[in-house]
Amino acid sequence: MEFANRSWLRVLCLVALYCLAAGSSAYCGTQTSEPQEKRYASLQSSNSPQESLSGFSTALFPTVPASDQKWSDYLVKVAYGRTFGTSTNLDYATLEVSKSVSRSRLLESLGPTVAELHFAMMASYVMYYEGTVEKVKKLDFSDGYEVAWVPKGRFIFPGVFFGMIPYGECGMGISYVSETYRNSGSRFNWSLLGGLGLERRITNRSQLALGIQWRHLSNGNMWGVGDELHNSNSGTDMVQAIATFVQPF
């Protein structure tokens, strides 16, 4: 029964990622609005930093007021991936909701790059796979969950690729895990992430982004008592495929 539940969860995550990507492609193909490349190219003639940021914001979200108005963007992200280089094999199915609290312009020489500060809440279902050491030592691990709070920076870069605009993000926060797997730290850990991807407008006020992200969970040997199972605290590393829906309000 437990294996069947894992399989269904894995299938649902992959279907969600596929549907978001396919839906975006189909929807964008029916739009007659100005192409993303043309909208972006028109920004290069902006004369001042304020005009450039305002123009870039308008190109991304044409119906949103100028950039001097407070922004309240919400991002909903679905991610699925597997750990690597760690003692215990795990799959992480993650749901993230984050809010943009500030936006600014930077890297003037490279074009109208936009930097955003986000506060993110993350929840993951962790699927555990029993390895050789776990079998020999008869370790009683099971599936678990993780919740995290991560402030992060999100950067929208100049350039258009396949009709989509590149972005990157990175952040660090704190997380809680229900199960402390072998050499993976403690229940409370630092949570680091970094990701890259491409985003595209799908409506006048919404965007879809597809990409990959790396995550690392570890307490950095800053707290907790080591034992036979957690003496090295190698932490947990994973790579996840991600789909993000961006909606300003």
CATH topology of domain 2-248: Porin (2.40.160)
pLDDT at 174: 95
Instruction: Look at phi and psi of residue 53 and say left if phi exceeds 0, alpha if psi is from -120 to 50, else beta.
Output: alpha
Mean pLDDT by 10 residues, the chain (249 residues): 52 55 46 44 45 49 38 83 84 94 76 86 94 81 94 89 90 92 78 94 87 91 62 79 85
Per-residue pLDDT at 242: 95
User: For residue 65, what pLDDT is reported?
Assistant: 35
Q: What's the pLDDT at 227?
A: 57
Nearest to 126 by CA among 97, 141, 146: 146
Cα angle for residues 203, 209, 212 (degrees, 5° grid): 170
Identify the pLDDT of residue 35: 46
pTM recorded for the entire structure: 0.71
pLDDT the model gives residue 181 = 80
Q: How far apart are CA 152 and CA 126, in angstroms?
A: 22
Report the Cα 225 to chain-centroid distance in Å.
31
Cα gap 145→16, rounded to integer Å: 20
pLDDT score of 152: 96
- Residue 91 pairs in a beta bridge with 82, 127
Q: Which two tokens stand for residue 216?
A: 């690392």
